Structure 1
Amino acid sequence: LQAGDTLYVDTGDYPMIDPIGVSGSNDVSLLVGPGMGRDEGFTITGPTDTSLIARLFPAIPGDRTRALIDLDDADFVTVRHLTLENAQRGVYTHGGSDSFEASFLTATGHAQEGFRIETASPFGDFDHLVALNNGAGGIYISGNIRSLTHSTASGNVGDGVRIVGGVLEVSDNIARNNTDWGFELSQSGDGMVLRNESSANRAGIYASNNVGSTTLRIGDTDLAAGNGNRVFNNRDGGIYAYYGALVAGNTVFGHTSSNAWGIYGYSNVTTDANVVYGNTQGIYGWYGTINRNRVYANANDGIRAENTDLFGNVVYGNAVGLRVGDYYNQSRTARSNLIYGNSSAGVLIAGYGLTFINNTVYQVTGDAVRVSDASGIGLYNNILGTDSGYVLSVASNSQVGFASDFNLFLDGGTLGQWQGVDRNSLAAWRGASFTDASSLVADALFVDPDGADNVLGFASLAQDGRDDDFHLRSAYGGFQGGSGLAPVREATSGLPVFIAPTALTSTGQSP
């Protein structure tokens, strides 16, 4: 075969005594069988009509000692339109087989990976690969590639898809029922992970991107584009991103093992505009940002943020709405979050230097805001209330540097706890804490906090809390409805969308 040639494989079943072995530099006849030459730069293809199948499999049943297609230092090879069954691997490229591409291949029932591709193919596209029921992973790619698209990995022992190296796009793929990660990406660089589904695996999507100042984009902040990923009903976790990633516009639910997080972001990860619900725990952030997420109906914490800034999240129906810990003298800000209707507590604050400003926290039961093991905490311009519990509790070990003012306290519950003593009125609170000189106690006049269904928070997918309206009434013109700062789950696509509010002029005026 010469450069530019095409080897056509016609429709039919092909019992293989020896694999298709190709090398650009080595004599591979001893490895894969006689008649295999030193070739590269060509295409192998079966029938392009997807209703016609060219099927390759070992001639000796149970012989899984070799791959069906073995490329050893064979550059510029393309393989297409074949079904590869019950060998060691379907396709194995190695030994510097660079500039490789593959499409419309099915690999099933192999002892090792369906596809093991070790290559440097920065312009290589891998499209419509199907890996089913293989013994050591579905699709494994090591080396830089351009894209993996429209592919499926299901029922594999190990990862569904694993890519080690730079990749520009991983999109429109499905990973289901694999025993490890649906998708595992490392050293990806400035890539995009868009419109994928990962479900019923051990865990959903793993990304570790320690490549300089690059950012791996898992989903998209432009929700109208529909580029988010759907990650659901995996056992041990949803999306876990490390070292330089944007996780945005995804829907993540149904991860319920004891330590499972919906989204876990570690070190320079921005988690933005996702819908995260029905997990053991919602969103975790360590040294990053958590913005504009809707987080509800998680069994434990809705959001846990350590040394992380937060803005515009809507959090309800969890055990604890928001748990914040700021350590290592890192001052952080939690701004404009809506946190309500959690079963145990609204907000738990620990650590150093958090500024908690412009937030609304309302609890039916439990404390609205509890500060403990902390110092240098500031609470400003918040609306805080509970029907049963403390509106604001500050532990004796957290009074150093504590500041609070311009807050609106809702009537109900016990206004404060200071030095372990209940402070039942604003005057008593001021006298003990020397804070909140400009704060007041009043009805905030929310538009309709339990919504049109008269149910506060999450009841079902049809009653998911999106109608709970915490806009403030204004006689001069305000808003009602909409999704607020955080998106909601769209029923048809299952992805997050923003819903615009409508104008409203109220008879009452919020203080």
Structure 2
Amino acid sequence: MKNLFLVPGSRVLGCLAAVCLHVACMKTMQPDVSPNQEKNQQKVAGLAGIPQSLYVSTTGSDSNTGTIGSPLRTINYALSLTAPGDSVIVRQGTYVEKVVFPNSGSSGAYITLKAYTGEQPIISGASLPVGGNEALVRISNIGWVVVDGFEVADLKTATSWNMPDGILVNGTSNNVIIRNNKVHNIENNNSPASGREAHGIHIIGNGTSPITDVLVHNNDIYDNNTGTSENLTINGYVSGFTITNNRIYNGENIAICAAGGYAGNPNPAFNYARNGLIAGNYIWNIDGRTGPVPTLQNHPGTIGIYVDGARNIIVERNYISESDRGIGLVSENNSFPTADCIVRNNVIRNNRAEGIYMGSYAGYTGGGTTGCLVLNNTLYHNATELGYDNEEVGEIRLNANCTYNEIHNNIIHPRPDRNTFIRKHDATGSFNGIDYNLYYTTGAATRWFWNGVQLNSFAAWKGGSGGDTNGLYANPLFVSTVPSTLNLRLQSTSPAKNAGTNVHGTAAGTTDIDLQPRYNGIIEIGAFELY
């Protein structure tokens, strides 16, 4: 992966350009003043840094003044004229250019690149070459900027090791907001799998100080061919990020990944994402078998939300369905455990493999999962297919090297033709606490695994695992289990009511998945609180 850094041009020239632009803008705004008064007002406005709006249109020209009646033609030229507080407002149309932010805003004075109200212009990579790590929108070592309301689409390659990104944030950028965009058809179509990578949105901290305060909110990310990479990636030295209310679908690999250990940063101490929130996202139809990894073509294995070697990440109030796996707290790299994370108040349903997956891949790595909490999730009808070894994978799977994790207050309801609740695959790891969970199936059999040993009754599970002393085996009484009207909220008489443990306090979240207050006396089991 190449580290590409932008060297801004002369700030003096930028200021002079901004002053000239402010002059032109003021001419259209003050038709009733004398020429001398107008000149003085222009000079004061430009030097004082009063925020200005620059307009861009496919019918404009970069020799224009940038007003709405005299718009510029290219986004990059408009951005070159910006100062803190300025906005570049883009009209409907297609802009075939690789957009690069050359200037930073400042605290409380963002530089905003946004669509004109009611329009959604397209930043297109159609016909543009891809060499190395290329992006349609690049934010490198830049702070206090916003990208709002665009389609970012059609950057494609079929060349090995070339990596197209829709939106790229790297270096030591900070205070970046990416919202209300549609990112699609970002593709690496190389065959075979070697060197096939792309990202819809890629945040990689490859500098000596962290990327901080990044918000990715209310975007649609879909129909991307990301190869062995992901639709939305947070990797390397990133500390303090928020990924909320996005919709990610129709992908061939992972939807959201917070990663560590992948050479995102050359310093091992910096080489993992940390201190993040992944909340309120909708993820569906993430199918690894459509992608380039040969093993995934036979068995479901990619993941909706993947915390892989990252630390101190909260994953809450997400809906994940019709994908391979739901949520992964897994490490693929030695020395980079997934640690101190919380997965809470999520609904994970109708996925082809595990609802929640933890640990290292057996015989592959030893990083493992440690100190994580899995609280108040509702898992329903996952594991519709068998695993790599044609095994029953379970709604929750603990693979190798799980230590000091707690799994509490979850509703676990497998398909009637699978009936496997939890699978602890082998005897590695220790001190994993499992209690206060509610189990139910409409199938004839029940099945748990502890250290690889199959247990066929709830009593055998409690005795064999030493867990779920306070757990329940009972029908949770969902509002509806009819597929066409599926509603996994609880009926008022549900045995999940007041049956959880409050021992985790606010670590279980202050709201349920519906954003209702989480506590009404004793906490409910599952993702929904009853009132």
TM-score by length of 2: 0.58
1:251 correspondence with 2:246: yes
1:207 correspondence with 2:203: yes
- 1:208-257 CA distance string (max 9 Å, x none): 356447321222xxxxxxxx333333332432223124334323222322
**Gap change, CA 1:275 and 1:84, over 3 Å in 2:** closer
Any gaps of 5 or more consecutive residues in structure 2?
1-8, 29-48, 116-120, 129-133, 156-163, 188-198, 260-272, 288-302, 331-337, 361-366, 386-393, 500-510, 521-529
- Conserved in 2, the CA contact under 8 Å of 1:79 and 1:103? yes
1:241 correspondence with 2:275: no
- Conserved in 2, the CA contact under 8 Å of 1:198 and 1:232? yes
1:277 correspondence with 2:284: yes
**Gap change, CA 1:298 and 1:289, over 3 Å in 2:** farther
**Gap change, CA 1:323 and 1:208, over 3 Å in 2:** same
1:127 and 1:86 map into 2 onto residues whose CA distance is 14
The counterpart of 1:347, out of the listed 396, 415, 420, is 396
1:380 and 1:360 map into 2 onto residues whose CA distance is 11
Counterpart of 2:123 in structure 1: which amino acid? S
Give 1:83 shift: 5.5
1:182 correspondence with 2:178: no
2:11 and 2:144 map into 1 onto residues whose CA distance is 27
- State the match for 2:176 in structure 1: 191
- Conserved in 1, the CA contact under 8 Å of 2:349 and 2:379? yes
The counterpart of 2:124, out of the listed 136, 141, 155, is 155
1:426 and 1:478 map into 2 onto residues whose CA distance is 21
SS in 1 for 2:307: strand
- 1:125-147 CA distance string (max 9 Å, x none): 24114697666x43211342332
- State the match for 2:371 in structure 1: 331
- State the match for 1:42 in structure 2: 20
Question: Whose RCO is larger (CA < 8 A, sep 6+)?
Answer: 2
SS in 2 for 1:231: strand
Alpha-carbon RMSD across the aligned residues, in angstroms, is 4.4
- Conserved in 2, the CA contact under 8 Å of 1:143 and 1:165? no
Aligned residues: 370
Give 1:324 shift: 1.2
Structure whose residues are more often strand by fraction: 1
2:216 and 2:255 map into 1 onto residues whose CA distance is 14
SS in 2 for 1:246: strand
Trace 1:211-226 onto structure 2 (pairs within 5 A): 211-212=209-210, 214-219=212-217
1:430 and 1:500 map into 2 onto residues whose CA distance is 31
- Conserved in 2, the CA contact under 8 Å of 1:118 and 1:143? yes
Counterpart of 1:147 in structure 2: which amino acid? I
1:296 and 1:235 map into 2 onto residues whose CA distance is 20
Give 1:330 shift: 3.2
Trace 1:392-431 onto structure 2 (pairs within 5 A): 412-417=444-449, 422-429=454-461
- State the match for 2:429 in structure 1: 375
The counterpart of 2:350, out of the listed 317, 334, 338, is 317
Counterpart of 1:375 in structure 2: which amino acid? G
**Gap change, CA 1:336 and 1:120, over 3 Å in 2:** farther
SS in 2 for 1:115: helix
- State the match for 1:125 in structure 2: 86
- State the match for 2:412 in structure 1: 361
SS in 1 for 2:135: coil
Counterpart of 2:402 in structure 1: which amino acid? Y
Give 1:369 shift: 0.9
SS in 2 for 1:160: strand
Structure whose residues are more often helix by fraction: 2
The counterpart of 1:294, out of the listed 315, 318, 323, is 318
Trace 1:448-463 onto structure 2 (pairs within 5 A): 448=478, 450-451=480-481, 454-455=482-483
Give 1:174 shift: 0.5
Counterpart of 2:111 in structure 1: which amino acid? S
Counterpart of 1:273 in structure 2: which amino acid? G
1:447 correspondence with 2:447: no
2:177 and 2:56 map into 1 onto residues whose CA distance is 28
- State the match for 2:493 in structure 1: 473
- State the match for 2:141 in structure 1: 165
1:369 and 1:360 map into 2 onto residues whose CA distance is 12
- 1:2-48 CA distance string (max 9 Å, x none): xxxxxxxxxxxxxxxxxxxx99999xxxxxxxxxxx98831285999
- Conserved in 1, the CA contact under 8 Å of 2:425 and 2:449? no
Give 1:347 shift: 1.1
The counterpart of 2:100, out of the listed 133, 140, 146, is 140
**Gap change, CA 1:122 and 1:264, over 3 Å in 2:** farther
